[in-house]
Amino acid sequence: MPHIQSAIILAAGMSTRLRAVFGEKPKGFLPLGGNPIVERSINLLRSHGIQQIIIVTGYLSSFYEALQSKYSGVQTVYNPFYAESGSMYSLWCARQWVQA
């Protein structure tokens, strides 16, 4: 079995249900155990040997884009149709990084 070296995080959603509680912040930046969920995910993936992490963004993409300078091997892909598409289209946006 080949060793998995890359992962895709789908993070293009608009966070409409949580916006009233947490304001204008993507769900991935809500704290979990003192760290934003997305950073916790990055660190967990790294601890399991994942070298390349692709984050598919949409709503408030600049939050995620800032992570590219904080973590090597992290890059973002923008889903221009995030407001009217679902997670499968976000995965389609990152298709060039998925290897069979």
Strands 35-36 and 6-11: unpaired
pLDDT tens for 3-51 read 888 999 999 988 788 777 778 889 999 999 999 999 999 999 999 999 8
Q: Which residues contact 51 (CB under 8 A, 6 or more apart)?
A: 5, 6, 73
Strands 6-11 and 31-32: unpaired
Q: Does pTM top 0.85 for this prediction?
A: yes
| Tokens found for residue 72 | 């090597």
Domain 6-97 grouped into CATH 3.40.50.720: no
pLDDT tens for 39-58 read 999 999 999 999 899 999 99
